[in-house]
Structure 1
Amino acid sequence: MTRPLRLLLIDDSLVDRQLAEEVFAEYAGLCTVRTCASGTAALEMLDSGQATLPDVILLDINMPGMNGFEVLAALKGHPRLAQIPVVMLSTSGHDSDVARAYTLHASSYLVKSVSFGDFVSQIESFLEFWRTSRLTTWPEMIAR
């Protein structure tokens, strides 16, 4: 059996982080979730060399300080972090936001559902995709 999928959720909203943690807790055998309340905190943690790298990062766009696009650019500009898949998770479905995310090399873009039931379905689909699509040797295959 492969190890659980390691996720990092970066979102300034405490309510959204708690909601996501609650949903992901239902899949505890399939994934582990770490959260950060800001892009700055996430980048510091990931760059510390002490952190186990996630398989996938879920990144909110609308955050104070560094917004999600700035965090995405910093991740993709970092030699050790650039290969981590980043899924933008936002309430915005504006074409300009989606285009900007892909221009900055986001792996995908997910518009947060306002319905709890639909959000749970989104998370189930997200987990199924990333559990079956990831490299089993990631991130260990990347030289530190």
Structure 2
Amino acid sequence: MTRPFRVLLVDDNVTDLLLATEAFLELDATVSVVTFASGQETLDYLHASAHENLPDVIVLDINMPVLSGFDVLRHLKDDPDLQLIPVVMLSTSDYLGDVSRAYSMHASSYLIKSRSFTEFVHQVDAFLVYWRKVMLAHQSDQTS
């Protein structure tokens, strides 16, 4: 039996966290979703995980107080123990400067959050399909 697909969601807007969690679980109740409302909580959790139960992918909001999504991304990519975790930047911003900055900082993807919940569920569905395939390919590479 394979383990659940693990997603870590980071967004300072609690309503957005709840809606995103609902979207993930509506599509697949076996997905493990861990949420945090701040960048610092996220980094503390990941450092305390000691390589156990690390997420398969991190979904990171850009606009957060204290530590922005870009600040968190920089910390993740500077840490040899965490730098290989895929990070998807999630924002309502379609500003090209934000997109370019995310990719220049080695974000794995940039997702512009749909304003409609139904469309957002479709985005999450495509997200799950893609990242599960990546995880399965990675697992098969490790067993070969």
| TM-score, structure 1 normalization | 0.91
The separation in 1 between residues aligned to 2:131 and 2:65, in whole angstroms, is 28
Flag as ranges the 4+ runs of structure 1 deviating above 6 A.
none
Q: Is 1:23–2:19 an aligned residue pair?
A: no
Partner of 2:111: 110
**Residue matched to 1:49:** 49
- Equivalent residue letter for 1:68: G
Deviation at 1:25, TM superposition (A): 1.4
- The answer (yes or no) to whether the contact 1:2–1:136 under 8 Å persists in 2 is no
Partner Cα distance (1:124, 1:3) in 2: 19
Counterpart for residue 126 of structure 1: 127
Root-mean-square deviation over aligned CA pairs: 1.6
Offset of residue 41 of structure 1: 0.3
Shift of residue 136, structure 1, vs aligned partner: 2.6
Paired letter, 1:22: E
Residues 49 and 4 (structure 1), Cα distance of their counterparts in 2 relative to 1, 3 Å cut? closer
Deviation at 1:49, TM superposition (A): 3.4
Counterpart of 2:70 in structure 1: which amino acid? F
**Identity over aligned residues, as a percent?**
53
Aligned pairs for 1:1-144 within 5 A: 1-26=1-26, 27-29=28-30, 31-50=31-50, 52-134=53-135, 135-136=138-139
Offset from partner CA, 1:2-58 (integer Å, 9 cap, x none): 3221000011000000001111112112x2100011000000010013551000000
**Runs of 5+ consecutive residues of structure 1 not aligned to the other structure:** none
Q: Distance in 1 between matches of 2:45 and 2:125?
A: 27
The secondary structure found in structure 1 opposite 2:76 is helix
SS in 2 for 1:4: coil
How many aligned residue pairs are there?
138
* Aligned residue type for 2:128: L
Q: How far, CA to CA, are the matches of 2:107 and 2:121 in structure 1?
A: 22
